[in-house]
Structure 1
Amino acid sequence: MPGYKAHIGGSVVAGTLVLLGLVNIGLYVINPEQVVSLFVICVLGALFPDIDTDSKGKRIFYSAMLIMSLSLIYLDKFKWAAYLGVLAMLPGVSAHRGWTHTWWAMLLVPLPLVLIPYYIYGQALPAMMPYYVAFVTGYFSHLLMDREF
């Protein structure tokens, strides 16, 4: 099984390939500030399936969640911090290599990145899709490296 470093590296490679592909076919225009966010989300997507174990990847994932939650609280975005907290707890209710290592979880877990902004804040779906694609790309790279397909 690949470790957290391999999963991070795999997500960066997969994210770069997807980003270049989307730019090449004209579906994405590079915004440097957003690209940094997209790569962070891609890496978090790659670490997510293993956060149900005691691992370095889990500590990195939850450290990032803590920083994001504190930032949201600082910005008075308490609802977003609450949503993030609930989503971060989901893997704690399953066994390792359970539902977090399935193709359907890869598609369902990041859906709140699109649906919450759309239904609660009225954000346009296309504006949120890059974040969904970034998380799915990272998640896919993890499952691919773990030979789950």
Structure 2
Amino acid sequence: MPGFKTHMAGAAAVTGGGLGAAGWLGLYQPNFETMVCLVLFSILGGLFPDVDTDSKGRRFFYGAALVVDAFLIFREQYRYAAALGFCALLPAIGSHRGWTHSWWAALLIPSSVLLAPMLLLGLPWKPFLPYYLATVLGYFSHLLLDRKF
């Protein structure tokens, strides 16, 4: 089973290749800062499937969820804080390499990258589509490295 460093490298490689191909085809040519952010989103996607185990990915995600949840409570956004808390519990109900290692989770889980800006900030979804796609690529790279296909 690959470790977190392999999953990080795999996600970065797949997304780097995708960005290179999109640029070469003239489909998408982000600036350097955006490319770095896209690779970071991909790495996060590549680490997420292992949040159901004692892993560095889990520590990172639950630490981030704690910060975001505290911010939402501070802003008196209790409905969103409750939704985040509910979603954070979901990986705990499955076994390792259970639902977090499925193709449908690789499409569904990253949708928060599109939904959060829309619901929390009232922003349009289109500018966040590249970040969603990068997160999906990272997630799928994890599944490929774990030989789930």
TM-score scaled to structure 1, two decimals? 0.80
Aligned to 2:110: 110
| Residue ranges of structure 1 left out of the alignment (5+ in a row) | none
- Conserved in 1, the CA contact under 8 Å of 2:69 and 2:84? no
Distance 1:124 1:56, change over 3 A: closer
Aligned to 2:18: 18
Q: Percent identity?
A: 46
State how many pairs are aligned.
147
Distance 1:89 1:23, change over 3 A: farther
Distance 1:86 1:39, change over 3 A: farther
1:54-113 per-residue CA deviation (whole Å, 9 max, x = no partner) reads 12332233345556x38966xx6968x836555444312322111101001101111121
Larger radius of gyration: 2
Correspondences of 1:41-120 after superposition (within 5 Å): 41-65=41-65, 69=68, 82=81, 86-118=86-118
Distance 2:76 2:45 in 1: 22
1:92 counterpart letter in structure 2: A
What is the CA distance between 1:129 and its match in structure 2?
Answer: 0.4
Distance 2:24 2:77 in 1: 38
Distance 1:14 1:71 in 2: 33
What is the Cα-based RMSD across aligned positions, in Å? 2.9
2:50 counterpart letter in structure 1: D
1:9-59 per-residue CA deviation (whole Å, 9 max, x = no partner) reads 111111111111122222222223322222221111011111101123322
TM-score scaled to structure 2, two decimals? 0.80
Distance 1:3 1:48, change over 3 A: same
Moved more, 54-63 or 6-15: 54-63
Distance 1:114 1:13, change over 3 A: same
1:145 counterpart letter in structure 2: L
| Residue ranges of structure 2 left out of the alignment (5+ in a row) | none
Aligned to 1:31: 31
